[in-house]
Amino acid sequence: MFLDFSEPSISRKYQSHLFNGRSNALTKPQYLRYGGKWVSRGRRALANSRNQASYNRDSCQGKRNHKDNHKLLCRTMEGSMDKQSSGNSGCIWHPFTQSALDSTPIKIVRGEGAYLYAESGTRYLDAISSWWCNLHGHGHPYITKKLCEQAQKLEHVIFANFTHEPALELVSKLAPLLPEGLERFFFSDNGSTSIEIAMKIAVQYYYNQNKAKSHFVGLSNAYHGDTFGAMSIAGTSPTTVPFHDLFLPSSTIAAPYYGKEELAIAQAKTVFSESNVAAFIYEPLLQGAGGMLMYNPEGLKEILKLAKHYGVLCIADEILTGFGRTGPLFASEFTDIPPDIICLSKGLTGGYLPLALTVTTKEIHDAFVSQDRMKALLHGHTFTGNPLGCSAALASLDLTLSPECLQQRQMIERCHQEFQEAHGSLWQRCEVLGTVLALDYPAEATGYFSQYRDHLNRFFLERGVLLRPLGNTLYVLPPYCIQEEDLRIIYSHLQDALCLQPQ
């Protein structure tokens, strides 16, 4: 366990307001105890705080007094806890889960480093960084400390013409690290939304200049999210079939995979030459959910040159690849042609809180600056620029830029390469890019709904490894804090999986 922060500091003024001098007030407030039990003391704190809030309970709820409220609250919490403990999760609709076929969701109670701990006592090695977002391990004390400090200052404020120090500090630290020219930041709260914002910016950028451009171009096998715009630019996919009639106008070109660069470049030239193309959207060098597919940076460079030539905006989706996943801080560094817009999320906060950024050039931003209010980017979300998310991002960035983190990333890449050299020929495909190892299980059935997917998933869970396959594609994308011996455990199970025969 990294840290127990059960007794954060709190001002006397706030204690007085929260508990109003009640004899049963807590003298040592306990908001959250990492990995510990908080219910018995937390009930009292929560009951008291709700009963001593700014409204009057007597006027709002008639004759119900403090004691009755306390009992009611405790009964409600006990009932809720019992339901959770019994494993009754039927009321929760889980993402990418077929409840009629999949097993009961595993209840995780805590995380530490590269490991997750289930209520049953089982320990799981998080080989995929909990959907690619956890950079530095679960329960990292530095990020936790910074979050606690910020929570006692400012938890949230409207971001429409308001700002705060964590956001200002974050953009000032990120700007010099990003590809050249990217210096105008728009905040949101998840990767799909950052893509939607980039698409809206691209269309309105031309609209504000009295130009009609609304067509988008993406790469085959891409994935940019599950909102309608993001789905539209990824082309046809088994997961998006019900929605095809609602897609925005878009085209896909071949990705510049090794040996197929000429086809991709030729298709790009044809499509980009059309007058209504607003933007080209791409995952630089690594296509995540499409199968952890890796492609040639030189091929991408030629496509970006064509986009610039035809006046097509380039949008880099670095939601997965950002913050060191592929080796350099951003995968866009593999080419010397910076994008016009970059989308960041996932590892932005180290996996602690939802936060995303859509970052543009000054030239694009200036097209929205006008005496005409209608030319502003009329887009926003309730939690845009949340101070807690920004604080987590600042802490995560500090860790990412440390020499120790660089050494860890280099160690992961070295271990992946050693595995590839020793065992890569046994797999249908075995590729390494930075901290990402991608393998295709040798099978005739491929694709997201391959019969091997469920069998492989179960195989690794039974061995205490969280390694969620993409069809018959397995990948290792661990937190940077993982130890070499843990990687060896994963590799050993990967080799054992080669003998698996679906029943």
- Model pLDDT, residue 443: 81
For residue 436, tell me if it sits in a domain. Answer: yes
pLDDT at 144 over 80: yes
Q: In this structure, are residues 215 and 281 in contact, taking their beta carbons and an 8 Å threshold?
A: no
Separation between Cα atoms, residue 169 and residue 470, nearest integer Å: 37
**What does the DSSP assignment read for 313-346?**
EEEEE-TTTTTTTTSSSSGGGGSSS--SEEEE-G
Q: What does the pLDDT average to over 319-343? A: 98
Neighbouring-strand partners of residue 342 = 316, 359
Residues 349, 448, single domain; the answer is no
Q: Is residue 157 part of a domain?
A: no
Give the domain extent around 289.
186-398
Are the beta carbons of 196 and 355 closer than 8 angstroms? no
Q: Is residue 263 part of a domain?
A: yes
Q: Beta strand pairing status for 286-287 and 293-294?
A: antiparallel
Same domain, 304 and 354: yes
Question: Is the residue at 433 inside a domain?
Answer: yes
- The pLDDT value recorded for residue 260 is 95
Q: Is the pLDDT of residue 40 over 60?
A: no
φ, ψ of residue 293 in degrees (nearest 5): -90, 135
CATH number at residue 482: 3.90.1150.10
* Cα 107 off chain centre by: 20
The mean per-residue pLDDT over the stretch 286-314 comes to: 98
* β-sheet with 356-361: strand ranges across: 182-188, 356-361, 341-344, 313-317, 277-282, 215-219, 250-253
For residue 125, pLDDT over 80 is answered with yes
Backbone angles phi, psi at 255, to 5 degrees: -75, 145
425 close to 442: Cβ distance less than 8 angstroms: no
Task: Please tell me the distance from the alpha carbon of residue 178 to that of residue 181, in angstroms, as a whole number.
Answer: 8
Q: Does 304 share its domain with 376? A: yes
Q: Structural domain tally of the chain?
A: 3
SS3 content of the chain, % helix, strand, coil (to 5): 40, 15, 45
Residue carrying the six token digits 């939601």: 319
- Out of 34-48, 53-67, 80-94, the most confident range is 80-94
Same-domain check for residues 359 and 376: yes
Residue 200 to residue 281: CA distance in whole angstroms: 13
Q: Select from 332, 363, 398 the last residue of a domain.
A: 398
pLDDT at position 412 over 80:
yes
What is residue 239's predicted lDDT score, i.e. its pLDDT?
85
CATH number at residue 284: 3.40.640.10
**What pLDDT, on the 0 to 100 scale, is given for residue 255?**
98
CA distance 294 to 223: 13
Tell me whether residue 270 is in a domain.
Answer: yes
Hey, which residues does 188 pair with through a beta bridge?
356
> Are 317 and 341 contained in the same domain?
yes
- Does any domain span residue 45? yes
Is 60 exceeded by the pLDDT of residue 388? yes
Give me the phi and psi of 461, to 5 degrees please: -60, -40
What does each C-alpha distance from 311 to 188, 328, 336, 370, 432 come to in angstroms? 27, 28, 18, 23, 34
pLDDT band at residue 43 under the 50/70/90 scheme: very low
Q: Is 124 helix (H, G, I), strand (E, B) or coil?
A: strand
Task: Please report the sign of the dihedral spanned by the C-alpha atoms of residue 366, residue 368, residue 370, residue 376.
Answer: negative
Annotated binding site: which residue ranges? 131, 191-192, 223, 317, 346, 380-382, 468
In the three-class reduction of DSSP (H, G, I as helix; E, B as strand; rest coil), residue 187 is classed as: strand
What's the rounded Cα separation, in Å, for the pair 214 and 355?
27
b/e per residue, 436-447, with b = 16+ CB within 10 A? bbbbbbeeeeee
pLDDT of residue 24: 35
User: Residue positions in the annotated binding site for substrate?
Assistant: 131, 223, 346, 380, 468
Is 421 contained in some domain? yes
pLDDT at res. 238: 84
Query: Which two structure tokens, joined as six digits, stand for 332?
Result: 């866009």
Average pLDDT over residues 43-50: 41
Alpha carbon dihedral 425, 429, 432, 436, in 10-degree steps, equals -130
Looking at the structure, tell me whether residues 313 and 391 fall in a common domain: yes
pLDDT of amino acid 20:
37
Residue 459 and residue 438 share a domain: yes
Residue 303 pLDDT exceeds 50: yes
Task: Indicate the annotated binding residues for pyridoxal 5'-phosphate.
Answer: 191-192, 317, 381-382
Q: Which of 46-60, 237-251, 265-279 has the lowest mean pLDDT?
A: 46-60
pLDDT tens digits for range 186-242: 999 999 999 999 999 999 999 999 999 999 999 999 999 999 999 999 977 888 989
Q: Does 220 share its domain with 341?
A: yes
- All residues at 6 or more sequence positions from 145 whose CB lies less than 8 Å from its CB, including other chains: 3, 5, 395
Distance CA 140, CA 339 (A): 32
Distance CA 127, CA 139 (A): 16
- CA distance linking residue 267 with residue 39, whole number of Å: 60
The answer to whether residues 336 and 425 belong to one domain is no
Q: What is the pLDDT of residue 286?
A: 98
Q: Where is the domain boundary, 398, 433, 456?
A: 398
* 389's tokens: 């998310």
Domain boundary pick from 398, 416, 439:
398
Q: What is the mean pLDDT of residues 290-294?
A: 96
In a domain, 158, yes or no: no
- Pair 394, 257 in one domain: yes
Query: Does residue 33 sit in the same domain as residue 66?
Result: yes
Average pLDDT (357-366) is 99
* pLDDT value, residue 503: 53
Concatenated DSSP letters for 190-233?
SHHHHHHHHHHHHHHHHHTTT----EEEEETT----SSHHHHHT
Tokens of 368: 């929205």
**Same domain (yes/no): 193, 340:** yes
